[in-house]
Structure 1
Amino acid sequence: MNPGLVLQELRNGWESLSDSDTTVCPSPDRAFLDLRERADWERSRPCLSLSVLRESPETRILAPVTSRIDRTRSWLPALEELSDSMKIVVFCRTRGQRDRMKDVLETGGLSYLTTFEDAPGDEGRRPVSLLLGDLEEGFEVVRDRLLVLSDTWLFRKTVSRPPFRSFSTRTQAYRRDHPVFSEGDFVVHLHQGIGRYRGLQEVTVGAVSGEFCVIEYQGGDRFYVSVDQMDQVLPYQGPEGVEPRLDRLGGKSWSLTRARVRKQIEKVSAELVELYARRKTAKGFSFSGEIPSRTSGVRPSLPVRPDTRPGGGHPGRFPG
């Protein structure tokens, strides 16, 4: 992999980020760590170190935990006995389950740590390391005298997991969920402005390849957008029959346009707030709850008598 090409791609991606994204993502100059920074980073996080595994017919590398602990009986005495000669690590799914495991170990008189570092415990026993993690059952590394367990397995709890479902590739998701562009269509990128859509192109950087949307800007400059960032590209909408002016890639025209539109939106919003505030404080006329009926006190001007014909019309009205 060419480091120069990787740095260039990082700079291109950094320039396309919004202000809120740049506060989370590291700058291209801080994307890689030197050896000293990597060592400091590793020391600040829990690490599980194992020796080099060389499998041979005579040496067993991994063993099931059922050969060490019988869950049908209390497993606290087994942990106490194994802690004399083995390093025991228990992964807990949540902080609450880790607190519960602490109470159980304290009841059994076993010491514990919340890190992987080893330290001598009471009577020479090694403390049990309680770490946060999601593990189904556990395993034993025979050569390193390491026993890794999970709290769900020890407490015989069934973990319900969502069913597996396959995910669409980024390109398939883009073609399904985003508008379809044709070659030469005018599009608008959120941060770069108005350009022409030039299709999808496969780009390979070192050993990594991906599909990118190509947008052409003023002067023939091209901007590559990964398909998983296509939510930043929308079709251009303007007066029919009028071609828009392309923005210059990295220029200030689009930034000025966005700032002008933002000011107009803020102005309209302030006017609406003022209008609703005046309507809220304005005094209106309160009508009485008793409204006289139009028909109250009005006598019918035509005589009304019942229809006496057999099978006649509606009673109380003259037949038609």
Structure 2
Amino acid sequence: MSSRPMDWENVLNEIDSIIQPSRGQGRVADYIPALATVDPMKFGLAVALGDGNVHTLGDADEYFSIQSISKVFTLSMVLRKVGDELWESVGREPSGSPFNSIVQLELEGGIPRNPLINAGAIVVTDHLVQQQGADATIAELIERMRTLASDSAIHVDQAVAYSESEAGSRNRALAYFLKSFGNLRSPVEETLKAYFSHCAIAMNCRQLARAALFLAFDGTDPISGIQMVSSKACRRVNAVMMTCGHYDNSGDFTYRIGLPGKSGVGGGILVVAPGNGAIAVWSPGLNEAGTSEVGSLALETLVRQTGWSVFV
């Protein structure tokens, strides 16, 4: 994917013009009490480029709960630590089912379809917790993201983590199913403590886009030069994001946007444009699959304006 000079003011103005009539559309994730009160009119976008420039629009500096977007970062961590051993306990196929489906997990012998649905992300988290416990896992993840974003303000929102735990009956059921099939080795509550915590990380669009730049440049952060994951692992993460990053909405997202991405029920979407940069967008209103409705529209407009796509 080649890089070319871009009129970012024009690109962002076009996005703003397109999304304005749709602001507030979708439904906030009211099944998590701490997210139910977020203003659905909020919208932010940030584009971080390999040269260090970051272009922003709207509420790009307002913190939000990244939720399942954190799974991209825990996946990159576990691939660095255990490598392809991970794929013995989690698959790489799109689920075609809701992100918290328990039926599919039972039918398929406790092996989650992929590492980005809830059950798969719990398995990924368990691999990390096995090595160092929940607290050390979260401490390492937060430090990793602060380093990538060059911002020490990134943190776990404890109120959201508590709210997730209190409303986490389905995730507990998934974890105990995994345990019953021998696919969870740490104590269930220890793994879930780490899982709920990383889903409750609070960031803004500017920080999130910056932190994900390594995924656009073969695993190496282009600003600091630090290799976060191997080139091979980076491509694996992007491939899984492309096919599985939006649950049973993944096919439509790929059709419309054409870039690897990961959505979260906090309204955030992280997208990787290999060789160019990373994009983070936030708009709390979700479609039926749990992906930001206005965020998807903004990204569709952005790729049309920039020509960025893995299918070029």
Please give the TM-score of this superposition, normalised by the length of structure 2: 0.19
Give the number of the structure with larger relative contact order, counting CA–CA contacts within 8 Å between residues 6 or more apart: 2
Q: Max radius of gyration: which structure?
A: 1
Higher helix proportion, which one? 2
